[in-house]
A and B are shown apart, each in its own frame.
Chain A
Amino acid sequence: MKTDIILAGVGGQGILSIATIIGQAALDQGLYIKQAEVHGMSQRGGDVQSNLRISSNPIHSDLIALGTADVIIAMEPMEALRYQPYLGKDGWVITATSPFVNIPNYPDIQAINAALDSLPHVVHIDIESLAKANKMPKAANMILLGAAADALGMDFELLRQAIRTVFAAKGDAIVDMNLQALTIGRENKG
């Protein structure tokens, strides 16, 4: 198996935590992974992405080629759209619905959604409202991961186990909240 994932968002939105959980789940399965990240100046409120590649065979390139990503997971709708040239023709897009507006010329959100809906498989999920309603504002990214679980083709229990491993040091309450967030995301992806 081979899954190429692009994680997209704005600096500070927590895409690397999503990558860490998927990466941990892949490691637990004994899979190969490569995860290219963005550090440095662009983290200051600019667009950021991470290329996460998982495979049962050794992986050479740290970067994903155009038109070959299986899944785009985005914390923000315009950032989802930014990477569509990387999406494979049968690929999935899982995106949060709330725009992150930190630029004066942010496009019309209807136009962004219309463009996203022209892609083959798109899941829009309002992680912000779900996180608020469930009193877990810091776990919005895990809600998004839950919504992406099926598209990733990963065993849900493995993702749960990865959350337990990664958040273990932060205590049971944090682990439970993130597990709950994962489930909420899976159940609310429409």
Chain B
Amino acid sequence: MKKLLLGDQAIAQGALDAGLSGVYAYPGTPSTEITEYIQLWHRSHPDTYVHDRWCTNEKTAMEAALGMSFAGKRALVCMKHVGMNVCADAFVNSAVTGVNGGLVVLAADDPSMHSSQNEQDSRFYGKFALIPILEPSNQQECYDMMAYAFDLSERLRLPVLMRIVTRLAHSRAVVNIADSARPQNALSDPADAAGWVLLPVRARRKYSELTAAQPTLQEASAGSPFNKASKEPKASKAVIAAGIGYNYLMENYPDGAPFPVLKVSQYPLPVDAIRALASQSDELLVIEDGQPFIEEQLLGLLPIKTVIHGRLDGTLPRTGELNPDNVKAALGLASAQTFAPSATVVGRPPALCQGCGHRSVYEALNRVLADFPSSRVFGDIGCYTLGALPPYQALHSCVDMGASITMAKGAADAGIFPAIAVIGDSTFTHSGMTGLLDAVNENSPITIIISDNLTTGMTGGQDSAGTNKFEAICRGIGVADEHLKVVVPLPANMDEITRIIREEIAYKGVSVIIPRRECIQTLARHTRQKKQQS
């Protein structure tokens, strides 16, 4: 059967067809559509049990998936690249416990930072954890690799990391899919029950086993159907093209490249194939999206005979995603003639929607803080980060999920007053709650605004883990009732909102203000759905 699928959707379909029992994820561009596809699929398969509810953050997702694997079933964890940082503790240790049911960790990297704060390359995490990494080059491989990845995971008894990039996640192509799905695994006990309790004495044994398994991983790469070497004779250059980089190479040589090419889609690097390639040419060009992961491994520290070109020597740009043009230039091919960019065109940055509740929050905050020139506002990750741009220019920081509260606390510790945190509802439950506890325990003089739009807005309106629970959560953590205020962020309520912000700034302890109004995007969607139903 053929289907037109985004790379993300091909992964989801591939996982379902491979006997998936559960997907665990927190929304994050460009990975969100994997879980959404499984949720949509589930509606037409209500009798099949597949876990598909959103998790509170990537760490809870990773751990729950490991629990499902422990029970013998196949589980998929999906996240954007920076989610790997959040789940890293569980991720790295899952390589030490090993798996029972197949466990695939999907990291969607975002070179060029279309929707992100950095360009970190998740392949380093795979190498760090000593597990196999798969890197599909197109949508068909996204699909095919899922069954392969689960089988590999169960055969090696290790989690498998699959790494994609934005352009593959969010690009559609026709994919051949199976007519039927493999049955889900039955419940089973792990073979090495003691190895799941990582007391130092057992962890040392497991870690030795993990390092001892590395030659087997190397053999798996050498025999991988997704790594392939072309049979071209010796030439003045040879190319290693990884993942999506292979597409940009082949775009220029639709009938085959006139020099030796090694396509890499499975790691650890297939060492023998690379040595064979190096014997065919004195110059190697490495085309890889993200950071120079392969290139650095080839270079080492000491002089070698082979000249290596890539992102480190400037043949490809050091930052930003690969594209047909920078790969063309790296191959020494001429670009097409172009019309120069028009000087008339100006930038059109994204902006908060008209009518969005975050707008009223920033409007109120700016009015109050005009009287406090020493104030600093610590922002967080979400639509409301756009409050940093005109017309509001209201934020002094945006670093990572949850950092608003803890940075405001640290700044207040250092003497900044007023120190304000602005965080969204979903980001607060993702990583803000623990920071709030730190602040409460020291009664830090900070004002925290949890701008609650009842959804995970920036990724398209997914369920938010804490909806209807925020007052209870804040009280439970220890925020005093009289400094826990809820307002409706509408222009008509500006006087009330500004008054409350002023009062809470004046209080020299932890205050939480919750402006609450549904995201206008999800509101429009819900209104439409209601209309259709009636």
Which A residues touch B348, using CB under 8 A?
Answer: 10, 45-47, 78-79, 102-103
One of B64-72, B187-195, B337-345, B465-473 at the interface: B337-345
Which A residues touch B250, using CB under 8 A?
Answer: 60
Kindly provide the distance from the CB of A66 to the nearest chain B CB, expressed in whole angstroms.
Answer: 5
Q: Which residues 214-272 of B have a CB within 8 angstroms of A?
A: 244, 246-251, 254
**CB-based contact B339/A84 at 8 Å:** yes
Which A residues touch B347, using CB under 8 A?
Answer: 47, 103
**CB-based contact B335/A112 at 8 Å:** no
Which A residues touch B170, using CB under 8 A?
Answer: 36-39
Known contacts A35-B172, A66-B338, A82-B342: does B114 contact A42 (CB below 8 Å)? yes
Residue B33 lies at the interface, judged by CB distance under 8 Å to chain A: yes
One of B309-317, B323-331, B430-438 at the interface: B323-331
Q: Which residues 433-488 of B have a CB within 8 angstroms of A?
A: 458-460
Cα distance A111–B337 in the bound complex, in angstroms: 24
Which B residues touch A106, using CB under 8 A?
Answer: 346
User: Which of A38, A40, A47 counts the most B-chain CB atoms under 10 A from its CB?
Assistant: A40
**CB-based contact B344/A81 at 8 Å:** yes
Which B residues touch A45, using CB under 8 A?
Answer: 348, 350-353
Which B residues touch A63, using CB under 8 A?
Answer: 167, 248, 323-324
Known contacts A10-B348, A78-B345, A107-B345: does B251 contact A42 (CB below 8 Å)? no
Cα distance A81–B342 in the bound complex, in angstroms: 7
**CB-based contact A66/B344 at 8 Å:** no
- Contact with B251, one of A41, A65, A82 (Cβ below 8 angstroms): A65
One of A26-34, A125-133, A147-155, A176-184 at the interface: A26-34
Nearest A residue to B328 by beta-carbon distance? Answer: A65
Residue A85 lies at the interface, judged by CB distance under 8 Å to chain B: yes
| Chain B 384-408 per-residue mask, 1 if CB under 8 angstroms from chain A, else 0 | 0010001000000000000000000
Which A residues touch B346, using CB under 8 A?
Answer: 78, 103, 105-107
Cα distance A116–B48 in the bound complex, in angstroms: 54
Interface size class of chain B, counting residues whose CB lies under 8 Å from the partner chain: 35 or more
Residue B506 lies at the interface, judged by CB distance under 8 Å to chain A: no
Which B residues touch A43, using CB under 8 A?
Answer: 350
Residue A11 lies at the interface, judged by CB distance under 8 Å to chain B: yes
Cα distance A168–B495 in the bound complex, in angstroms: 50
Nearest B residue to A119 by beta-carbon distance? Answer: B339
Cα distance A82–B337 in the bound complex, in angstroms: 17
Which B residues touch A11, using CB under 8 A?
Answer: 350
- Contact with A61, one of B33, B248, B353 (Cβ below 8 angstroms): B248
**CB-based contact B350/A65 at 8 Å:** no
Total interface residues on A, CB under 8 Å, equals: 53
Kindly provide the distance from the CB of B110 to the nearest chain A CB, expressed in whole angstroms.
Answer: 9
**CB-based contact A41/B458 at 8 Å:** yes
Residue B30 lies at the interface, judged by CB distance under 8 Å to chain A: yes
Which B residues touch A107, using CB under 8 A?
Answer: 344-346
Residue A62 lies at the interface, judged by CB distance under 8 Å to chain B: yes
Residue B115 lies at the interface, judged by CB distance under 8 Å to chain A: yes
Which B residues touch A87, using CB under 8 A?
Answer: 338-339
Cα distance A89–B339 in the bound complex, in angstroms: 8
- Contact with B324, one of A32, A44, A65, A102 (Cβ below 8 angstroms): A65
User: Which of B249, B325, B347 counts the most A-chain CB atoms under 10 A from its CB?
Assistant: B325
Kindly provide the distance from the CB of A58 to the nearest chain B CB, expressed in whole angstroms.
Answer: 8
Which A residues touch B6, using CB under 8 A?
Answer: 37
Residue B171 lies at the interface, judged by CB distance under 8 Å to chain A: yes
Which B residues touch A98, using CB under 8 A?
Answer: none
**CB-based contact A84/B341 at 8 Å:** yes
Nearest B residue to A52 by beta-carbon distance? Answer: B172
Residue B178 lies at the interface, judged by CB distance under 8 Å to chain A: no
**CB-based contact B383/A44 at 8 Å:** yes
Residue B168 lies at the interface, judged by CB distance under 8 Å to chain A: yes
Cα distance A31–B411 in the bound complex, in angstroms: 58
Kindly provide the distance from the CB of A61 to the nearest chain B CB, expressed in whole angstroms.
Answer: 4
Which B residues touch A41, using CB under 8 A?
Answer: 29, 114-115, 350, 383, 386, 458
Known contacts A41-B115, A64-B324, A112-B344: does B336 contact A88 (CB below 8 Å)? yes
Residue B276 lies at the interface, judged by CB distance under 8 Å to chain A: no
| Chain A 67-108 per-residue mask, 1 if CB under 8 angstroms from chain B, else 0 | 110000000001101101111110000000000001111110
Which A residues touch B342, using CB under 8 A?
Answer: 81-82, 84, 115
| Chain B 8-44 per-residue mask, 1 if CB under 8 angstroms from chain A, else 0 | 0000000000000000000001101100000000000
Which A residues touch B244, using CB under 8 A?
Answer: 62
Which A residues touch B383, using CB under 8 A?
Answer: 41, 44
**CB-based contact B336/A60 at 8 Å:** no
Residue A146 lies at the interface, judged by CB distance under 8 Å to chain B: no
Kindly provide the distance from the CB of B460 to the nearest chain A CB, expressed in whole angstroms.
Answer: 7
Cα distance A61–B139 in the bound complex, in angstroms: 11
User: Which of B168, B323, B342, B383 counts the most A-chain CB atoms under 10 A from its CB?
Assistant: B342
Known contacts A32-B174, A61-B324, A67-B336: does B351 contact A46 (CB below 8 Å)? yes
Cα distance A51–B167 in the bound complex, in angstroms: 11
Which B residues touch A64, using CB under 8 A?
Answer: 324
**CB-based contact A40/B459 at 8 Å:** yes
Residue A185 lies at the interface, judged by CB distance under 8 Å to chain B: no
Residue B173 lies at the interface, judged by CB distance under 8 Å to chain A: yes
10 contacts between A and B (CB under 8 A): A34-B173, A37-B170, A37-B172, A39-B29, A41-B458, A44-B350, A66-B335, A103-B346, A103-B347, A103-B348
| Interface pairs A-B: 9 shortest CB-CB | A67-B336, A40-B115, A46-B350, A40-B29, A65-B324, A67-B338, A61-B251, A62-B171, A36-B171
Known interface pairs A40-B29, A68-B336, A86-B338; 6 further A-B residue pairs with C-beta atoms within 8 A, sorted by A's residue number? A32-B174, A36-B170, A37-B171, A43-B350, A78-B348, A79-B348
